[in-house]
Chain A
Amino acid sequence: MIFDADLRPVVDDVLGANTDTAPGELWALLTELGWPVVGVAEDDGGAGGDLAAVAELAAGVGRHAAAVPLIETGLAAWALAGAGLPIAATAERAALALAPAGTVEARRDGTAGAAGGDWVFDGTVPRVRWLPEVPTVVLVVEQADATVVAILDAPPSAAPSADPTAPGAAAGAAGGVERDLAGEPSGPLRLDGLRLPADRVAVAPAGLAGDVLDRTAVLRAAAISGAVERACTLTKDHVTTRQQFGRPLSALPAVRQLVAGLAVERDLLDAALTVAVTRPGSGTAAAVRAVAARTAGTVATDTHQLHGAIGITQEYPLHLVTRRLWSWRDDEGTQRRWERLLGDEVIRTGSDEPLWSLVTGASA
């Protein structure tokens, strides 16, 4: 899938040539290129660029199995800019913690009077990708009539900070750094009466939380599409070079059929991504996220099957993308969760209008 034809070869050059570069060094390179803040307007301190450009970067992260929080940092910066907060805090990598309505309480400290004092946060965001290894986490709290966005310091170590209620200091991942199947760090963000000064918090319109979730869904799907593309490419190379029974595997009809099926799944995901990028919205984001989760499972299963035993070794690179597919597909909710979200929208009126406008983009 090509989202941005000019950017794609550059992404391949940079991420393809730095698969073994130390994370800090790679991050410095990406920062120099301005990639973490592509998609954030230049007036807000970003590098500019549309959603297609950000999706191209996300797909690159998937294609090259890049172990950097490029997508998450970009989302964190985008959320801050959307809330009118400075994005500088994300410069050294950031995680994004999305708190759906009712999961995290955010309130002003009443004792400070009408002028308003510190903010106080209570609640937990169970799984925050990259949280244990980044200095900053951007918290997006969905409320009934507003979105509260906050900048938290996330201690890079597993140890909780000495004084978790000290202003600006967030609780990190208590109980050690978890690594998920992708090998990427992740952990729960626990907020027990965390206090933050008012300059680290902004109240934004209610729609922002949903917009951040939609953007997260689309970029996750783009990353999945990149990993899918790589898995398919590795598979085609393998079945055409690996000889069995005196001929390449690709001579076997059953092998050919599986490869063709993979190509169709890949094309469908790319088509759903095209819709989500050209017609952004909650429906098209949920649609592509559901399709991506489904495709991730099918592609991981079938590419492993076609590789045989070599595919399940550490030495062969297929696991770099399939482990990410298995992990990423369940971020921000599994396939069924996204399908329910979309289903609720589709049955809203009882007529087929919501479905038809989702599918065609036509107004009712």
Chain B
Amino acid sequence: MADPHDKLRREVRAFVAAAGIVPRNDSWLRGYDPDFTRELGRHGWIGMTWPTEYGGGGRSNTERFVVTEELLRAGAPVTAHWTADRQIGPTILRVGTEGQRAEILPKICRGEVVVGLGLSETEAGSDLAAVRTRATPIDGGWSITGAKVWTTSAHHATHLYILARTGEGASKHEGLTEFLVDADTPGITVRPILDLVGEHHFNEVILDDVHVPDDRVLGTVGAGWKQVTEQLAFERGGVERYLSTYPVLAAMIRTVQRHPDRAATERLGELAARLTALRQLGLQLAGAIDKGEAPVRLAAGLKLAGTRFEKDVVETARYVFDVCEGDTEAHRLLVDGLAVVPGASIRGGSSEVLYTVISRAELPK
């Protein structure tokens, strides 16, 4: 069966080849390059599923899937627009006002918007509904006070997505509201949180009486929980959940071809078989989103199995680069990969939470 997106795939490959990328693992989280992002925007590869009236490409999620998988295959620096393209743009489209769509979506498509994701807090990690950041009504809008952690790219952000408590309900899932806050609003302080190897990707974001106008509420006041869980299907179900260490895998292929080893070949065969299955799950997810579904259960399974795969890629590489004499570049990627994988099964829903999501679907009360 011919690949129906062959032409698109070739365009992305040609662009990537010409860009002269030094591949990185986790390039969607650690590869901040605003120039590269704007270039992708010029090619129409940001917001490509959104309606053309908002600057989007009017294309399918399956086509977006093809573009993102080719970009991560190359380890391309796509952090600057990743969150906006993956989940905040779609959220604005789904629940945002006409004004928000017209104002923000075209900018995202041009690669001019960097969104910092303000979900987690010090006391609300896996238990996301425990957020304490509070938004209180003021004249014409809201005053937000609180603190968010693990906010990737907040130090580059033009906008901050903030999940805040606006009321109390019978359960902690009630009374939550989503906001999209301009990053230059007074009262916002961004402090770096260096990762285990000393790189700066995460931040703590402190909000102190940040005044946000009413038109920055996303969707319905108090309906934040339902909206955010739908958003998570987008966050969890993408190619970045199994391709984050692909550069290591590619380096293994190169290495074993030069220095054949039977056990290494078998291990690569195993990884290839598993990747084939994972990628099909990813494709099915993109198809489900095209049908207007928010496949939360499927996304949880993909992320759980995908991040396990990413870890196994790096573990396998230790052996392969040893017995098959990996070169300097191979070892650089291995070191890079080792630093990446501990976070993979935590961010965007820890594996333990995902097990819970899946077991609820498998064993309904």
Q: Does B266 contact A (CB under 8 A)?
A: yes
Q: Does B278 contact A (CB under 8 A)?
A: yes
Q: Does A267 contact B (CB under 8 A)?
A: yes
Min distance, Cβ B316 to any Cβ of chain A, angstroms: 11
Q: Does A322 contact B (CB under 8 A)?
A: no
Query: Pick the contact of B362 from A260, A288, A344, A359 — CB < 8 Å?
Result: A260
Q: Which of A237-269 contact B (CB under 8 A)?
A: 239-240, 250, 256-257, 259-261, 263-264, 267-269
Query: Pick the contact of B301 from A236, A267, A269, A287 — CB < 8 Å?
Result: A267
Query: Pick the contact of A284 from B73, B254, B274, B276 — CB < 8 Å?
Result: B276
Q: Does B84 contact A (CB under 8 A)?
A: no
Q: Which chain A positions have C-beta within 8 A of B272?
A: 287, 342-343, 346, 355, 358-359
CB pair B359–A260 under 8 Å, yes or no, is yes
- B contact face: mostly helix, strand, loop, or mixed: helix
CB pair A260–B355 under 8 Å, yes or no, is yes
Q: Does A278 contact B (CB under 8 A)?
A: yes
Q: Which chain B positions have C-beta within 8 A of A340?
A: 262, 265-266, 269
Q: Which of A315-338 contact B (CB under 8 A)?
A: 335-336, 338
A268-B281 contact in complex given A338-B269, A347-B268, A359-B276, C-beta closer than 8 Å: yes
CB pair A267–B281 under 8 Å, yes or no, is yes
Please report the C-alpha to C-alpha distance between residue A269 and residue B278 in the assembled complex, in whole angstroms.
9
A360-B3 contact in complex given A240-B363, A260-B358, A338-B269, C-beta closer than 8 Å: yes
Min distance, Cβ B11 to any Cβ of chain A, angstroms: 13
Q: Does A351 contact B (CB under 8 A)?
A: yes
Please report the C-alpha to C-alpha distance between residue A291 and residue B250 in the assembled complex, in whole angstroms.
21
Please report the C-alpha to C-alpha distance between residue A205 and residue B254 in the assembled complex, in whole angstroms.
33
CB pair A350–B1 under 8 Å, yes or no, is no
Q: Does A272 contact B (CB under 8 A)?
A: yes
Query: Pick the contact of A362 from B3, B253, B277 — CB < 8 Å?
Result: B3
Q: Does A274 contact B (CB under 8 A)?
A: yes
Q: Does A296 contact B (CB under 8 A)?
A: no
Please report the C-alpha to C-alpha distance between residue A363 and residue B354 in the assembled complex, in whole angstroms.
34
Q: Which chain A positions have C-beta within 8 A of B256?
A: 343, 347
Please report the C-alpha to C-alpha distance between residue A355 and residue B2 in the assembled complex, in whole angstroms.
17
The interface size bin for chain B is 35 or more
Residue of B at shortest CB range from A293? B273
Min distance, Cβ A322 to any Cβ of chain B, angstroms: 19
CB pair A264–B304 under 8 Å, yes or no, is yes
Q: Which of A256, A257, A272, A360 has the most CB of B within 10 A?
A: A360
Please report the C-alpha to C-alpha distance between residue A344 and residue B273 in the assembled complex, in whole angstroms.
12
Query: Pick the contact of A351 from B253, B260, B277, B301 — CB < 8 Å?
Result: B253
Residue of B at shortest CB range from A271? B280
Please report the C-alpha to C-alpha distance between residue A287 and residue B9 in the assembled complex, in whole angstroms.
23
Query: Pick the contact of A347 from B2, B265, B273, B305 — CB < 8 Å?
Result: B265
CB pair A336–B266 under 8 Å, yes or no, is yes
Q: Does B181 contact A (CB under 8 A)?
A: no
Please report the C-alpha to C-alpha distance between residue A356 and residue B257 in the assembled complex, in whole angstroms.
16
Q: Does B331 contact A (CB under 8 A)?
A: no
Interface string of B1-28 (1 = CB under 8 A from A): 1110110010000000000000000000
Q: Which chain B positions have C-beta within 8 A of A5?
A: none
A342-B253 contact in complex given A259-B363, A274-B280, C-beta closer than 8 Å: no
CB pair A236–B363 under 8 Å, yes or no, is yes
Q: Does B275 contact A (CB under 8 A)?
A: yes
Please report the C-alpha to C-alpha distance between residue A286 and residue B268 in the assembled complex, in whole angstroms.
13
Interface string of B90-114 (1 = CB under 8 A from A): 0000000000000000000000000
A343-B358 contact in complex given A290-B273, A291-B273, C-beta closer than 8 Å: no
Please report the C-alpha to C-alpha distance between residue A230 and residue B284 in the assembled complex, in whole angstroms.
23
Query: Pick the contact of B359 from A259, A338, A341, A361 — CB < 8 Å?
Result: A259
CB pair A363–B268 under 8 Å, yes or no, is no
Q: Does A352 contact B (CB under 8 A)?
A: yes
CB pair B276–A349 under 8 Å, yes or no, is no
CB pair B276–A346 under 8 Å, yes or no, is no
Q: Does A279 contact B (CB under 8 A)?
A: yes
A264-B301 contact in complex given A336-B266, A343-B265, A343-B269, C-beta closer than 8 Å: yes
Q: Does B59 contact A (CB under 8 A)?
A: no
Q: Does A275 contact B (CB under 8 A)?
A: yes
CB pair A287–B3 under 8 Å, yes or no, is no
Q: Which chain B positions have C-beta within 8 A of A12?
A: none
Q: Which chain B positions have C-beta within 8 A of A335?
A: 270
Q: Does B43 contact A (CB under 8 A)?
A: no
Please report the C-alpha to C-alpha distance between residue A84 and residue B283 in the assembled complex, in whole angstroms.
38
CB pair A339–B270 under 8 Å, yes or no, is yes
| Besides A256-B363, A267-B281, A361-B3, 14 new A-B residue pairs in contact (Cβ under 8 A), listed by A number | A250-B363, A256-B356, A257-B355, A260-B354, A260-B355, A264-B305, A271-B278, A272-B280, A339-B266, A340-B266, A341-B269, A344-B269, A355-B272, A359-B275
The residues of B with any CB-CB pair to A shorter than 8 Å are 1-3, 5-6, 9, 69, 73, 249-250, 253-254, 256-258, 260, 262, 264-270, 272-281, 284, 298, 301, 304-305, 354-356, 358-359, 361-363
The residues of A with any CB-CB pair to B shorter than 8 Å are 236, 239-240, 250, 256-257, 259-261, 263-264, 267-269, 271-272, 274-275, 278-279, 284, 286-288, 290-291, 294, 335-336, 338-344, 346-352, 355-356, 358-363
**Nearest 7 A/B pairs, CB to CB:** A343-B269, A339-B269, A350-B257, A343-B265, A342-B269, A260-B358, A256-B359
Between A and B, 11 residue pairs with Cβ closer than 8 Å are A257-B355, A264-B305, A272-B276, A272-B277, A290-B269, A290-B273, A291-B273, A346-B268, A346-B272, A361-B3, A362-B6
